Amino acid sequence: MEIVKDETNRPRESASKATVQPAGSILLAATPIGDTADASPRLVKALQEADLIGAEDTRKLLNLCGRLGIKTTAKIIALHEHNENERAKKLLEAAAAGQRVMVVSDAGMPTVSDPGFRVASQAAAAQIKVSALPGPSAVLTALAVSGLPSDRFCFDGFVPRKESDRRKFFAALKTEPRTMIFFDSPKRVHETFGVLEEVFGADRKAVLCRELTKTYEEILRGTVSELKDLTEGEIRGEITLVIAGAEKSSKDPADYVAQVKALAAEGMRLKDAAAQVAEATGLRKNELYQAALAAK
């Protein structure tokens, strides 16, 4: 066996000969989000070495292997949101028995709005080794190309389907100062921008990323209002939204304590009073609540 040394002078196997995944472990492996060429050599090797693979869609995994020009001898089982609790046990048992177990989603990193979280959580609790094979991510790719601040950001998964749920969803994020990233359906994205316009305001900066890394990739930048107009009509493909965080308010919470106290004097809980005034002023309810407590 050829041995090379890393920067810490610890011996390790040559990358060309080492196995990607040790036996008796679970590997969360990122797959291409569009361009097959984004598959890493480590992913290719891991697919060839695995004993058992939990795939969000078994047909899509086999299709990926075909596009990569490889075959896997692993047993492949479906692992999706409806059966993950049940299948997690089987994957953990296989890893505990010494098998190399992989988890892959249709695209991107497992566990990020995709199956894999329950497997990773249960494996950690059972002290079974879990590692990740990094790679493509629609979340980070969209953030990188958005042109919006990337030093602080949050990912909030899929935008709710129902309009009433969308309204509540975004209302809770109205004063979020970090750049926000969401997945959305092309069938609903126009309506989503309509709700964003009402809740966040027409001038909030936003970016729509469509078909990232694919042939017809498209990046639309503008205000919420502008993107609402641009998405009217038929939109196709995978959609990732990046929305600018709220600007810090120049208002002083102390100036609105009297309003909070007045509502509380009428019988409303102080926290609820602070929340109501925060909704009306755009201030953070926790800041108002703390200011009201201090005023007591």
The 8-class DSSP code of residue 106 comes to: S
**Token pair in block for residue 6:** 């890393």
- Looking at the predicted structure, is the pLDDT value of residue 2 above 50? no
Q: Considering only CA atoms, which of 269, 20, 277, 240 is closest in space to residue 141? A: 240
- Looking at the predicted structure, is the pLDDT value of residue 16 above 80? no
The 8-class DSSP code of residue 109 comes to: -
- Looking at the predicted structure, is the pLDDT value of residue 6 above 80? no
Boundaries of every domain in the chain? 3-136, 139-243, 253-295
C-alpha distances in Å from residue 194, one per residue of 143, 200, 223, 229:
22, 10, 12, 9
For 99-136, what is each residue's pLDDT tens digit?
999 999 999 999 999 999 999 999 999 999 999 999 99
CA–CA separation, 261 and 257 (whole Å): 6
Q: Report which residue type is found at 236.
A: R
Helix (H/G/I), strand (E/B), else coil: 239: strand
Bridge partner residues of 218 (DSSP): 210
Q: Considering only CA atoms, which of 86, 93, 100 is closest in space to residue 123? A: 93
Please check whether residue 281 is in contact with residue 251, taking contact to mean a CB–CB distance below 8 angstroms.
Answer: yes
- Looking at the predicted structure, is the pLDDT value of residue 77 above 90? yes
Residue written as tokens 């030093």? 151
Q: Which CATH superfamily is domain 139-243 in?
A: Tetrapyrrole methylase, C-terminal domain (3.30.950.10)
Among the four given CATH numbers 3.90.180.10, 3.40.1010.10, 3.30.9.10, 2.60.40.10, the one describing domain 3-136: 3.40.1010.10
For 201-260, what is each residue's pLDDT tens digit?
999 999 999 999 999 999 999 999 999 999 999 899 999 999 999 987 667 888 889 999
